[in-house]
């Protein structure tokens, strides 16, 4: 037991930071990684949107948290690595009022305000997001691994350049009062050392100086404010370059197709925005780019979630009534609108195969009463009614089958159909 009125400093860390140090860390890769772990960002209570991971990184290295959030969202669109890194930060960055991070608290290494149940859920989510991000199942093969490598490299460079600033410092003390009562107090509350109490009595009973006083610790000077320079034009330059990339990509997508789909063009635009915003974090510019990055990220996420790039094609309704097999097109496609394809005028010996696809709208195909029809009908969100087989809901899977017509056997036109809609309904009906 410590004598009454004595104070013992705890080894834990709190949200307080030291704003000055000797300079950027020297040493190699291993030293930088160890120093990063020892001075990890701490998740603040103020300024957090979910768990405070982006705010923690921003506060630790003096970077706008908005830039960190946009980088994570962009990395999520480019393969899912943003979600993985956010969950890892939630698990291994301590809360500013806790002794240890949630993962360490789960192992019994100290107190964490995150419940063990939530920590286990986070561990499972990390495993699932890692499987998604690192298996290359997204639209950009290997995009998750590339995004993960870029973000890890960015954090490493941030720590190399700014790791000596805003370092967390010990800020809790363990004080024993009269009678052995123990309580924790902030280190800032102990502005002066208590007087020496040789009899262990109440602190107010004696007022004798400590016979072995500790020399006063030098106060570290505050980090000087960064000088104001000319306002950076990185935001305007990035905005202009993003529009140019979008315009060129849209032109190539409309004329040549191939790799240049709407989802890929949006990805290129987000890549330009991400580079500009990260650069702007160091030159104090480009904050307004977030208002362009957020809607583009949402649009990109929606496009990559829909199969087969459904919004490739014209706009408006399509109506066709071919009378010969040669007049039937291989594909009827519209981005937004309806498609009415009437095949009831085909001759009895016709043999045709076609695809009917709408991004948002209704696709309807009419077939002769005695035609032999092989069909595949699907919707991402909507309903399908194909020759009596019905299905509706969200991503319910395709309706597939073969129908030999009213005559119940082979005969009549031979028709193969693939009818799909991302948002809407599809029908195959006999006339």
Q: How far apart are the first and last CA of the chain?
A: 94
- Dihedral sign for Cα atoms in the order 56, 59, 62, 67: positive
Report the SS3 class of residue 215: coil
Q: What is the pLDDT along the chain (431 residues), one digit of tens a residue?
A: 444 444 443 444 444 555 555 555 556 788 888 888 888 899 998 888 888 888 888 888 888 888 888 778 777 766 677 888 888 989 999 998 888 899 888 888 888 888 888 888 888 888 877 776 665 544 444 556 777 777 788 888 888 888 887 777 544 444 444 555 444 444 433 333 444 444 444 444 444 555 555 565 555 454 455 445 455 688 888 888 888 988 887 777 666 555 666 767 777 887 787 777 777 766 666 667 777 777 777 676 666 555 444 445 556 788 999 999 999 999 998 877 899 999 999 998 899 999 999 887 899 999 998 899 999 999 888 889 999 888 888 777 888 999 888 777 777 889 999 999 888 899 999 87
Distant-in-sequence, close-in-space partners of 153: CB < 8 Å, separation ≥ 6: none
Residue 308 pLDDT: 47
Angle at 387 between CA 385 and CA 388, to 5 degrees: 70
The tokens for 203 are 């602190």
**pTM tops 0.85:** no
Q: Tell me phi and psi for residue 181, to 5 degrees.
A: -70, 125
Question: How far apart, in Å, are the Cα atoms of 228 and each of 224, 234, 283, 419, 425?
Answer: 12, 16, 10, 61, 58
Tell me whether strands 172-176 and 182-186 are parallel, antiparallel or unpaired. Answer: antiparallel
Distant-in-sequence, close-in-space partners of 98: CB < 8 Å, separation ≥ 6: 105, 110, 111, 112, 113, 114
Q: Decide if 307 contacts 273 (C-beta within 8 A).
A: no
Residue 405 CA to residue 17 CA, distance in Å, equals 78
Nearest to 39 by CA among 63, 59, 65, 67: 59
Largest CA distance in the chain: 114
Q: What is the DSSP string of 271-336?
A: HHHHHHHHHHHHHT--GGGHHHHHHHHHHHHHHHHSTT-TT-SEES-EEE---SGGGS-SEEEEEE
Q: Decide if 41 contacts 93 (C-beta within 8 A).
A: yes
């Amino acid at each position: 037991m410590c004598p009454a009125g004595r104070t013992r400093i705890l080894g834990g860390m709190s949200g307080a930071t030291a704003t000055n140090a000797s300079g950027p860390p020297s040493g190699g890769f291993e030293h930088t990684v160890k120093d990063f772990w020892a001075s990890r960002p701490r998740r603040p209570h103020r300024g957090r949107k979910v768990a405070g991971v982006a705010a923690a990184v921003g506060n630790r290295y003096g970077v706008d948290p908005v830039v960190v959030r946009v980088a994570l969202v962009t990395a999520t669109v480019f393969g899912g690595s943003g979600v993985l890194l956010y969950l890892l930060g939630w698990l291994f960055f301590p809360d500013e009022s806790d002794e240890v991070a949630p993962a360490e608290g789960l192992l019994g290494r100290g107190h964490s305000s995150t419940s063990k149940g939530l920590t286990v859920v986070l561990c499972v989510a990390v495993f699932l997001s890692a499987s998604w991000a690192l298996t290359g199942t997204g639209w950009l093969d290997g995009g998750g691994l590339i995004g993960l490598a870029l973000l890890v490299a960015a954090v490493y460079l941030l720590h190399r350049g700014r790791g000596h600033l805003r370092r967390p410092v010990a800020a809790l003390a363990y004080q024993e009062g009269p009678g052995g009562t123990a309580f924790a107090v902030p280190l800032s509350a102990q502005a002066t050392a208590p007087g020496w109490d040789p009899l262990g009595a109440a602190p107010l009973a004696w007022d004798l100086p400590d016979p072995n006083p500790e020399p006063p610790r030098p106060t570290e000077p505050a980090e000087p404010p960064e000088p104001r320079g000319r306002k950076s034009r990185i935001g305007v330059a990035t905005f202009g370059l993003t529009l140019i990339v979008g315009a060129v990509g849209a032109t190539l997508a409309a004329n040549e197709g191939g790799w240049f789909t709407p989802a890929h063009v949006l990805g290129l635009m987000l890549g330009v925005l991400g580079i500009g915003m990260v650069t702007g974090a160091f030159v104090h510019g480009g904050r307004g780019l977030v208002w362009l990055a957020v809607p583009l990220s949402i649009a990109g996420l929606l496009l990559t979630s829909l199969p087969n790039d459904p919004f490739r094609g014209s706009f408006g309704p399509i109506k066709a009534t071919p009378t010969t097999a040669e007049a039937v097109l291989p594909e009827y496609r519209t981005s937004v609108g309806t498609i009415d394809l009437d095949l009831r005028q085909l001759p009895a010996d016709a043999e045709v195969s076609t695809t009917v696809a709408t991004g948002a709208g209704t696709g309807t195909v009419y077939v002769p009463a005695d035609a032999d029809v092989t069909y595949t009908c699907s919707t991402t969100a909507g309903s399908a009614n194909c020759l009596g087989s019905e299905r509706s809901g969200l991503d319910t899977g395709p309706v597939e089958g073969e129908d030999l017509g009213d005559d119940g056997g082979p005969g009549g036109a031979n028709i193969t159909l693939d009818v799909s809609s991302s948002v809407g309904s599809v029908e195959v009906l006999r006339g």
